Amino acid sequence: MTSNDRRFPLTRRRLLGASTAVATATIAAEVARPTSAVAATVSATPSWQGAPGSSGVHLRWLGNNAWEITFGTTTILIDPWLTRFKTGTYTPEGIRDDTPLTVDPTKIDPYIRGANLILVCHGHYDHMTDVPYIAARTGATVLGTESHHNMLRALGAPASQFCTVRGGEYLQYDGFTVEVFRSLHSMTGASKQVPYPGTRPGTVPPRPTTVADLVEGDTLAYQITIGERFRILALSTANFVERELSGLRPDLAIVAAGGGTVHDYVGRLMGTLDHPTWVLPTHWDDFDYPLNQPAVDWGGLQPLQQAVKAASPKTTFVNLDHLEMFTP
């Protein structure tokens, strides 16, 4: 039932995006470098000069909505989920609700070197399952809602590292800021439902054991501003609150595929953000397939690319493959 024999004959992204980003994307060949070497090899003298390729900011796609953003000696992780256990999410049969939550350090450690911050966008299994392990290993501060933190605590995450947010925060760090915005999850099916909906406020719930136990717990969007110049907006799922994001004008937006049930999802988003210079697609790969192979599109990539082009023709659509890095 979980046979993997249709693995990677398709490499569909190659049909779509080979011309868009390869020139500026480079495979992060150093991914296996041990954590201890990181501080010495990441430049301590960022150059935020604003021109493409000289921002001093690197974005690496770790599959699904997992991103590593590095600049200077800082590393920010977004929804780092690398274990990618099989769920059947994108099969005709759909996700198996009783799929157990598992964490596999052998699939995480080669790619996660260290982290200062982990931004949790929402609470689902494909965003949050690996966070307790990565937080404990890196010592990173974990931003998320009260519900996210309660579920993470139930999974054993160190509560002393939580920074609980709800939207509206404007946080100052050393050389960068993080703004937090209320956002919305994508809605699917005839009744437009959020998968595994709900919140876990108040007390810590029983330990989540299956994918169905990790509920949305509200959805957040984050804008990271580096050196008071370069702005990255991160959206984890195909929906947003227009009035929350109005006026932000990020340089780069990480935008999730999907959104067919949301009125003019991409068109409104591009207009609300005043047409970012770069859009990086996210959440478009079928995560039944591994991270160390080319991404397999579940079908959302080309519609997103076309919608961005139609709504924002001057925006560059930077289509990274698994583990590729972009330096704007």
Provide the binding-site residues for Zn ion, judged by CB under 5 A. Answer: 124
| Cβ nearer to Zn ion, comparing 58 with 124 | 124
Element containing residue 75 per DSSP (H, E) = strand 74-78
DSSP strand pairing (74-78 vs 141-144): unpaired
| Cβ nearer to Zn ion, comparing 124 with 200 | 124
| Closest distance to Zn ion from the beta carbon of 122 (Å) | 5
| Cβ nearer to Zn ion, comparing 21 with 215 | 215
| Cβ nearer to Zn ion, comparing 218 with 251 | 218
- Check: CB of residue 197 under 8 Å from CB of residue 216: yes
| Closest distance to Zn ion from the beta carbon of 38 (Å) | 29
| Closest distance to Zn ion from the beta carbon of 126 (Å) | 6
- Check: CB of residue 266 under 8 Å from CB of residue 275: no
- Check: CB of residue 73 under 8 Å from CB of residue 174: no
Q: Both tokens of residue 156?
A: 């054993």
| Closest distance to Zn ion from the beta carbon of 56 (Å) | 31
| Cβ nearer to Zn ion, comparing 251 with 286 | 286
| Cβ nearer to Zn ion, comparing 17 with 63 | 63
Q: d(Cα 257, Cα 277) in Å, to the nearest integer? A: 18
For residue 117, which of 133, 136, 139 has the smallest C-alpha distance? 139
| Cβ nearer to Zn ion, comparing 56 with 208 | 208
DSSP 4-41: -TTSSS--THHHHHHHHHTTTEEE-TTTT--GGGHHHH
Q: d(Cα 130, Cα 64) in Å, to the nearest integer? A: 13
User: Within a 10 A sphere around the Cβ of 91, how many other Cβ atoms?
Assistant: 15
| Closest distance to Zn ion from the beta carbon of 262 (Å) | 14
| Closest distance to Zn ion from the beta carbon of 311 (Å) | 23
DSSP 210-262: BGGGS----EEEEEEEETTTEEEEE--SS---HHHHTT---SEEEEES--TTS
| Closest distance to Zn ion from the beta carbon of 28 (Å) | 25
